[in-house]
Amino acid sequence: MSVFNQSRKRVIQFIMLGTVLVIVARLFFLQVVETKYSKLADANAHLRKVIYPSRGIVYDRHGRAVMRNEALYDLMVTPINVKNIDTAYMCEILEIEKAEFLRRIQVAKNREGPRRPSVFANLLSPDMYGRLQESMYLFQPGFELVQRPVRSYPYGVGANFLGYISEISPGMLADTSGKYSSYQQGDYIGMTGLERTYENILMGQRGIQYLVKDNLNRPQGSLEGGIFDTAAIAGKNLRLALDLDLQVLGEKMMAGKIGSIVAIDPQTGGILAMVSGPTFDPNLLSGSYRAKNLGILLTDTVKPMFNRAIQAIYPPGSTFKPITGLIALDEGVIGPDFGFPCHGGYGLCGRFSRCTHSNPGHAANMRVALANSCNSYFMHVYRLSVDNKKWGGTKNGQAKWVEYLKAMGLGRRIGVDIPSEAMGIVPDTARMNRVYRNVWNSCSEMYVGMGQGQLSLTPIQLANAMCIIANRGWYHIPHFVESIDQDKSDILKKYKEKISVAHISSDAFQSVVDGMADVVTSGTARKAQIEGFEVCGKTGTAENTTIVNGKMVKLKDHSLFVGFAPKNNPKIAIAVVVENAGFGATYAVPIASILMEKYLTDTISAKRKPVLEQMLNSNTFSPEIKHKSKLDSLNSVNYAGAEGAVIMRKILGH
Amino acid sequence: MNRSQAKLTAGIDWPIFGMYLALVFIGFLAIFAAEYREGDHVIQNLLSQNKNWARQVLWFGVSIVLATGIWLTDSKFFTATANLFYAFGILLLLVVLAIGTGVKGSNSWLELGGFRFQPAEFTKLCTCLALAKYLSAMETDFTKLRSRLIAVGMVMFPLAIIILQDETGLALVYLAFFLVMYREGLPGVLLVIAFSGIVLVLSALLIDKFILLYIFTGVAAVVIYFNRYQIRRKKSRLVTIIAIWAFCSSFVMYVVPFVFTNVLKDYQVRRIYVMLGQENDPKATYNTRQSMIAIGSGGFWGKGYLKGTQTRLDFVPEQSTDFIFCTIGEDFGFVGSLIFLGIYVSLLLRIIFIAERQRSTFSRVYAYGVASIIFFHLAINIMMTIGLAPVIGIPLPLVSYGGSSLMTFTMLIFIMLRLDADRQMVLR
C-alpha cells in the first residue's frame, strides 16, 4: 500500500518547503526591505531626553547680576499612565488632600487630554522637589519632573529691555525659514528685549541624552554607554554697560511719571540706564507668575509693557535746537558768530511768531542763542540750511537736511540691541509733500527748527544726538551688551565702530557746546549743576496735542532735558522725557541731574537729597489714569528684586 | 570499551542527532538572550534556577536522560505499548480537564510536586504512536471509509479535549496528523478541500459578503456557460455546480458570521482580525506589532548577540516561550533567521527521508507524524511572530523555553531514532 502513495512524499515536501519559503519571503520583507521597523524599535527602546542648559546670566557693568536663573521643577502628569501608585504618599509630599489630587488629575485631563503631559504641580519648592526626586520611580510613568527655566531679577529692574522668555509659539514652529528649526514644542525662547536679541547666545546648546527604556517606559540606563549623547552647553553670560545704581534710581524716580530716561556712555555707546516709566518688576512675568500678571500688565492704563525709551515718539522741543545749529554749521550756511536780530518774534514768513525773549543781542551768536533758547534764531537757521543755494531748491535742501538727521540716527531705527524700536518722524520730502500737498517752502515747517511740527523723536535718538555733540561729531550705536563671556563671534563688532557724522571745525562745535554749558550755568537748566563738573544741557518744553472725540486737544507740555557731562571728556549723555509734566526744568532737569551726579560722583550730595526725595515722591499721572492703574499694587507684591531696595537705601543714606 | 561504545551508538542517525543538539543549543542561547541583563550573575542564576534559561539547562539534562532511556529500550516496546500510551494520555487530559491549574487563561497544566506539566504536549506523542499502531495493524485497510473514520477519530478525540482546556493552539497541532493520513492514502481531494476552506474563510473575513456573493454567482455563471454542452449531456454536472455555489455562498453569508459571533471567543476573533490586518486596536495588536518590530529591526545582519533592544527590554511578550523567534530575528537578522530555518528544513526533510526508508508501516507513520508535528509547530509559531498567523500559543519545537515541550519533542525524536536504528526489523 505504501508503495502506491510514495509519490505523496513529494507533495508533503512541497507543502513544507512552500510554507518555509513564504516565511522567508516575509522575513526578507520585514528585515531587509522595510526600514520602518528599526526606526520603530529605536523609538520604542530609546528615550531621547533633551537636557536644557541653563540660560546665560546678564551682569551690569560692575558684575552684579541683573538677571539670573533659578532651577525650579514642575511635576508633570500624563493621566492615562497614572495607575497603581501610592496616592497617599504623593499627597503627603505635595501637602495636598486626596480630593485635590483627584481634582488636579481631572483638570489635567480636561486641559491636555489623558495622553499628553500637563502640569500637575508647578515650581516645586526645593524640599518637595528633593523628596519627589527620590521616590520618582514609585510614580512613573504617570508622573515626571521637568525642569523649568525660570528667570529671576534680584534688583527687580530692567523689565522693558531685558524682555522675557516663554514657550515657543505654534506660529514660530510653523516657520519654514529654518530660524526655529532647532526648537521643539515646549521649548522656551526669548520673546522680547535682550532675551530675544541674544537668544542664540543666552540659550546655550541643548544636550541630548539617549536612554534605553523598557516596555514600561522605565529608563534602564544610557544607550551604549552614552556614546551618542551630546552634553548641554550652558548659555553664555552677557556683560552690560548698564549701571544698576542708575537703573534703580531712574526707575524709582519715574515710578509716578509717564516718560523715559536714556543714559549712554558717549565714549563707548554703552547704555548706562534705560527707563520707561512707569515700569513693572520683571519678576512679575517670571515663571508661573506670568500667566497671572501678563494680562493685567498688557491692559493697564499706564501701559507699563510699552518701552517708551525706544518706542514712544515725542516732539523734542527746544532740546532739538543744538541739532538745528549743528546742521547749519556743518552745511556752512552760518558760522558760530552768526547772529539774528530777534525782537521777540519771527516775522520773515509773513505771520509773526512770538518768542520768549525780546532783549537785543540775545541771539547775537550761536552760543548766546542756545543759552537763551531763541526760537526765532533756530527757525531762521533751519530756513537758511534748507534754502541753501548749494542744494538747488528748497525741496532738495529739505531732503539734504533730513539726510543730516538720519546720519545722526534721528528718524530711523538707530540699531540698539533690543527689538521693536520706533523710527520717529522727520519732515522728509515725502511727508512734506503729503502734508502740504506738494506746495511748500522753508516757511511751511519752520517750527522744526525749534523742535516742533513734523518732528517726533524717541528718547534714545535724543540721547544718541547728545553723544554726538559730547563727542564733537561721532557716536557708537547705542547698545546694552559690552561683552559676552567666552565668545569669539563678531556679533558685537558693529557696536565698537565709531560713526562720524559731522565735519565741523572744533571752533564751531565749541559754540554749541558752550551754549549748552551756559544753559546749565545761567539758563533754564540751572538745576542741573553738579559741583565740580561742567554740565552741558538743553531743556525742552514740548507742546503736544491729542485727539479726543475727534477734536484736536492741546495737552500739558512734555518736560524734556538732554545733556551730557563733563563738558570735556564726557562720561554720560542723557535724555529725559516726562510726559505732560510742564516745563523742562520742573521734572526732566532734576531727574537727569540726579542721575548724572550719581554716575559721576557715585553719590548724591546732601544738599541735593531733598530734590531726589521730591522726584521720588512726585506723581504726574492724571487722576483718572492713577485711579485706574493697578500697577502700583502689582509692583508692591515683592516676588524677588529685594536688592533694588538695598541700592535705594544706600543712596538715600537711610 | 571502544567496541561497546560503538555498539551503544550503533544505528543512530547522526544528522538528526546533530540538528537536535543544534536546535536545543540555539534555543538555550535565545532564551538566555531574552532574559540576560548586564550585571547578571550567570553562575548564581544557574545554581539558583531562578531564570528560564537556567531551568532550560535542567530540562535539557532531564531530556537527555529520557533520550538515553529510550535509546536503550527495545523498539518493540513502543509498538507494544502504543495503545497504552494513548489511553494514558487521554486519561491525563481528562484529569487535567477536571483538576487542571490555570496558567494564562488555559486549564491545561497539571501540578506535580512543584513542577507544572502540560499533558497536551505529551499526548501528541501518544497519539502519534497510537496512530502508527492503528495504521500498521494487519486488519486496517486504509482505503476503507471505516478505517479512515477511526483514524480521524483517534486524532480528533484529544483535540476536542484540549479545546475544552482552552488551549486552541495546541489542539490545532493535532490537525498535523492529517498530513500523515494523507501520506497513508487519505484522498488528496481532502487537502484541496481544506485549502479551499481556508481561502473561503479568509475571503469571508476580508471581503464584504455581498461582494463575495456576486463573485460566486458570476463564477458559477461563467462555469455553467463554458460547460453548457456537457451539462446538456449530463444534468448532474449542473447540480454539482449549483450545489458548490450554494455551499460557498451560504458559508460566507451565514456560517462564518455565525462561527465568529457564537462559537469563537472574543479574543480569538480579535487575534484573527489582527493577523489579517483588519483591526488596529493597539491592545490587540501589541504582541504581533512588538514582535514584528523586534524581528524587523534585526535587519540583514542582525544587531548582534545580546544587542537586541526589543527582546531584552521586555517589549516582546512571552519572549522565551511562544515568541522566542523574535530574539533570533533581532539578534541575528535575516541571515541568522535563514540559517535557523535552514536547520529546521533540513531536520524535516531528513525525517521524511528516514520515514521513507522504513520497512515497517509503524515506523514510517510514526516518523511522518514526528515531521508533521514539528512542521506544524514551526510554521504556526514563526508565522504568528511575523504577522502571518493569528497569535495562538504554541511553542517552537526544541527552541522555546518549557520542560513539557522540550521533553515531548526529545521523546518524539528519540523514539523515531530508535525505530530507525531497528529498521531492519519488521514491526507491527
Tell me the pLDDT tens digit for each residue of A60-90. Answer: 999 999 998 877 787 888 887 787 788 888 8
**CATH number, domain at A117?**
3.90.1310.10
Best of B142, B285, B334 to disrupt the A interface by mutation (most A CBs within 10 Å)? B334
Could you read off the pLDDT of B201-242 as tens digits, one per residue? 777 777 777 888 888 888 888 888 888 888 888 888 888 888
pLDDT of residue B98: 81
- All 3 cell numbers of residue A152? 529671576
Could you read off the pLDDT of A107-131 as tens digits, one per residue? 888 776 676 677 788 777 767 888 8
Facing residue for B296 by CB, picked from A22, A37, A214: A37
pLDDT of residue A47: 65
Q: How far is B13 from chain A (nearest CA, A)?
A: 20
pLDDT(B1) > 50: no
**Angle, alpha carbons A171-A173-A179 (nearest 5°):** 110
Q: Which of A240, A274, A296 is the last residue of a domain?
A: A240
Q: Are residues A270 and A174 in the same domain?
A: no
pLDDT(B193) > 90: no
**Angle, alpha carbons A112-A118-A124 (nearest 5°):** 155
Q: Are residues A248 and A235 in the same domain?
A: no
Q: Residue A13 falls within a domain, yes or no? A: no
pLDDT of residue A215: 61
Q: Are residues A154 and A256 in the same domain?
A: no
Residues from chain A that touch B387, judged by Cβ atoms under 8 A, are: 26
Mean pLDDT of A481-493: 88
Q: Rounded to whole angstroms, how far apart are CA atoms B124 and B169?
A: 13
8 A C-beta contact, residue B399 and residue B19 = no
Least confident of A121-125, B335-339, B371-375: A121-125
Q: Residue A18 falls within a domain, yes or no? A: no
Q: DSSP secondary-structure letter at A532?
A: T
Q: How far is B153 from chain A (nearest CA, A)?
A: 22
Residues from chain A that touch B179, judged by Cβ atoms under 8 A, are: 12, 15
Mean pLDDT of B299-328: 80
pLDDT(B58) > 50: yes
Q: How far is B185 from chain A (nearest CA, A)?
A: 6
Q: Given an 8 Å threshold on Cβ–Cβ distance, is B296 in contact with A45?
A: no
Best of A23, A39, A47 to disrupt the B interface by mutation (most B CBs within 10 Å)? A23
Could you read off the pLDDT of A414-444 as tens digits, one per residue? 999 999 999 999 999 999 999 999 888 888 8
Least confident of A245-254, A432-441, A497-506, B271-280: B271-280
Could you read off the pLDDT of B338-366 as tens digits, one per residue? 999 999 999 999 999 999 999 889 999 99
Q: Are residues A229 and A267 in the same domain?
A: no
Facing residue for B309 by CB, picked from A17, A31, A212: A212
pLDDT(B135) > 80: yes
Q: Given an 8 Å threshold on Cβ–Cβ distance, is B296 in contact with A213?
A: no
Q: Given an 8 Å threshold on Cβ–Cβ distance, is A4 in contact with B296?
A: no
Q: Are residues A179 and A156 in the same domain?
A: yes
Bridge-based pairing state of the strands A58-59 and A238-240: parallel
pLDDT(B369) > 90: yes
pLDDT of residue B277: 60
pLDDT(A228) > 70: no
| DSSP letters for B116-176 | EE-HHHHHHHHHHHHHHHHHHSTT--TTSHHHHHHHHHHHHHHHHHHHHTT-HHHHHHGGG
Mean pLDDT of B183-196: 82
8 A C-beta contact, residue B400 and residue B27 = yes
pLDDT(A509) > 90: no
Cα-Cα end-to-end distance for chain B: 34
Facing residue for B375 by CB, picked from A2, A16, A22: A16
pLDDT(A227) > 70: no
Mean pLDDT of A486-504: 86
Using a pLDDT cut of 70, give the percent of chain A over it. 91
Least confident of A138-147, A565-574, B223-232: A138-147
Q: Are residues A465 and A508 in the same domain?
A: yes
Neighbour tally for A574: CB within 10 Å: 34
pLDDT of residue B284: 52
Q: For the sheet containing A536-548, what is the strand order?
A: A271-277, A259-264, A572-578, A551-565, A536-548
Q: How far is B346 from chain A (nearest CA, A)?
A: 10
* Exposure string for B21-53, b = 16+ CB within 10 A, e = fewer: eebbebbbbbbbbbbeeeeeeeeebeeeeebbb
- Report residue B169's pLDDT band, with 50, 70 and 90 as the boundaries: confident
pLDDT of residue B100: 65
Q: Are residues A134 and A204 in the same domain?
A: yes
- Report residue A1's pLDDT band, with 50, 70 and 90 as the boundaries: very low
- Report residue B106's pLDDT band, with 50, 70 and 90 as the boundaries: low
Q: Are residues A182 and A296 in the same domain?
A: no
Torsion of CA B366, B368, B370, B376, to 10 degrees: -140
- Report residue B256's pLDDT band, with 50, 70 and 90 as the boundaries: confident
Mean pLDDT of A594-609: 92
Per the document, the length of chain B is 428
More confident residue, B115 or A238: A238
pLDDT of residue A422: 94
Chain B: residue nearest A7 by CA?
B183
Least confident of A66-75, A206-215, A292-301, B143-152: A206-215
Best of B313, B335, B374, B388 to disrupt the A interface by mutation (most A CBs within 10 Å)? B313
Q: Rounded to whole angstroms, how far apart are CA atoms A326 and A515?
A: 12
pLDDT(B285) > 90: no
8 A C-beta contact, residue A275 and residue A459 = no
Chain A: residue nearest B344 by CA?
A20
Q: How far is B295 from chain A (nearest CA, A)?
A: 7
Residues from chain A that touch B364, judged by Cβ atoms under 8 A, are: 2
- All 3 cell numbers of residue B310? 526589543
Mean pLDDT of A25-47: 78
- Report residue A461's pLDDT band, with 50, 70 and 90 as the boundaries: very high
Q: Are residues A532 and A457 in the same domain?
A: yes
pLDDT of residue A106: 86
pLDDT of residue B113: 67
Could you read off the pLDDT of A607-639 as tens digits, one per residue? 899 999 999 998 888 887 787 888 887 877 666
Phi and psi, residue A521, nearest 5°: -75, -35
Q: Rounded to whole angstroms, how far apart are CA atoms A260 and A247?
A: 11
By the CB < 8 Å criterion, does A43 face chain B? no
Mean pLDDT of A180-199: 84
Chain B: residue nearest A213 by CA?
B313
Q: Rounded to whole angstroms, how far apart are CA atoms A95 and A85?
A: 16
Q: How far is B333 from chain A (nearest CA, A)?
A: 7
Q: Are residues A110 and A157 in the same domain?
A: yes
Best of B189, B198, B293 to disrupt the A interface by mutation (most A CBs within 10 Å)? B293
Q: Are residues A170 and A86 in the same domain?
A: yes
**CATH number, domain at A346?**
3.40.710.10
pLDDT(B280) > 60: no
What's the Cα-to-Cα distance from A198 to each of A232, A417, A481, rounded to whole Å?
Answer: 18, 8, 9
Could you read off the pLDDT of A203-226 as tens digits, one per residue? 887 776 777 766 655 666 666 666
Q: Are residues A290 and A413 in the same domain?
A: yes
pLDDT of residue A61: 94
More confident residue, B224 or A275: A275
By the CB < 8 Å criterion, does B343 face chain A? no
pLDDT of residue A44: 63
Helix (H) or strand (E) holding A636: none
Q: Residue A329 falls within a domain, yes or no? A: yes
Facing residue for A41 by CB, picked from B294, B334, B349: B294
Chain A: residue nearest B141 by CA?
A1
Q: Rounded to whole angstroms, how far apart are CA atoms A333 and A368?
A: 18
Q: Rounded to whole angstroms, how far apart are CA atoms B256 and B273?
A: 13
Q: Which domain holds residue A318?
A: 244-482+498-652
pLDDT of residue A245: 93
Question: How does the average pLDDT of chain B come out, rounded?
Answer: 85
Q: Rounded to whole angstroms, how far apart are CA atoms A421 and A45?
A: 49
Query: Looking at the 3D structure of chain A, how many domains does it have?
Result: 2
Report domain extents, chain B: 195-263
pLDDT(B3) > 60: no
Least confident of B10-19, B284-293, B386-395: B284-293
Looking from the CA of A7 toward its CB, the CA atoms found within 13 Å total 2
Task: Provide the 3-class DSSP secondary structure of residue A166.
Answer: strand
Facing residue for B315 by CB, picked from A31, A34, A215: A215
By the CB < 8 Å criterion, does A13 face chain B? yes
Per the listing, cell 530777534 goes with A342
Facing residue for B185 by CB, picked from A5, A32, A36: A5
Could you read off the pLDDT of B156-166 as tens digits, one per residue? 999 999 888 87
By the CB < 8 Å criterion, does A41 face chain B? yes
- Report residue B40's pLDDT band, with 50, 70 and 90 as the boundaries: confident
More confident residue, A368 or A178: A368
Q: How far is B355 from chain A (nearest CA, A)?
A: 10
- Report residue B127's pLDDT band, with 50, 70 and 90 as the boundaries: very high
Q: Given an 8 Å threshold on Cβ–Cβ distance, is B310 in contact with A12?
A: no
By the CB < 8 Å criterion, does A32 face chain B? yes
By the CB < 8 Å criterion, does B329 face chain A? yes
